[in-house]
Amino acid sequence: MSYRIIGDSCTDLPKNLKEDEHFRLVPLTLIVDDVSIEDNENFDQQDFLHRVKMSPNSPKSACPSPEDYMKEFAYDGDIYVITLSSALSGSYNSAEVAKGIYLEEHPNKNIAIIDSRSASVGQTLLGMKIKELVEAGKEFSEIVNVVTTYRDEMKTKFVLESLDTLRKNGRLTGLQAIICSALNIKPVMGATMEGTICKLDQARGIVKALMTMAKAIEQDVFKPQERILGISHCNNYERALFIKDEILKRVPFKDYFIVDTAGVSSMYANEGGIIAAY
């Protein structure tokens, strides 16, 4: 069967999917002060985190161009594109523009653009679901419908070690950040149905915050025996193992995977951050 799953580079893939010929990633560009960093296979997480820490300014990202997506459409098979939440990035709109242009010359091409309304491993889970359905012999239109429903039922949560990036980009005042830092308060954040970021809870200390997130997952998970738990971490594998164990104590997920964040997810999560999707 001939198909291609295209993610923007916020899609954090485990090793087996990075090596799967059906998966392709289109890089965003990360900007720290006057330095532009392409979020591709050469991304240096340690260098990026150091630059972000040393800069007084918030890091930014530039989404792929329509041309970047169109290069990946030139393939003899069905195309499925999964993007970072459209509420956080222009990647979805860029992919939609690319689709419109490409279909003018190739009107019979099957191309689906799916707004993940999530990020990181949330995008990965959607890619895995598409692969599962394609290999089960499902038709293009059915796959799009099933994956859209799966997306609508999916949840994403994350815990941040540092509020520095939120402070720099104006989502949190300097005073709030100072108070939270002084009191060792760690927010538990989540994605809304529309793909925006919201605060769900908070706790003093990273361990208590992770435990709070695990309890929240236990309370709102839907059909866990049919779902996979995805966990991404920003340079803290031990923390990812801890939250994985705490979640699986409470919830009988079908399976799980753990990945380190690439560039865009590292920018959002910051060092020590944990993202969970299910």
Q: What is the pLDDT of residues 202-222, one digit of tens each?
A: 999 999 999 999 999 999 999
Average pLDDT for the chain:
93
User: Is 82 in contact with 114 (CB distance < 8 Å)?
Assistant: yes
Percent with pLDDT over 90 in the chain: 85
Closest residue by Cα to residue 66 from 29, 92, 38: 92
pLDDT tens digits, 120-144: 999 999 999 999 999 999 999 999 9
3-state secondary structure 101-153: HHHHHCCCCCEEEEECCCCCHHHHHHHHHHHHHHHCCCCHHHHHHHHHHHHHH
pTM here is 0.93
Domains of the chain and any CATH numbers:
3-28+63-153 (3.40.50.10440), 156-277 (3.30.1180.10)
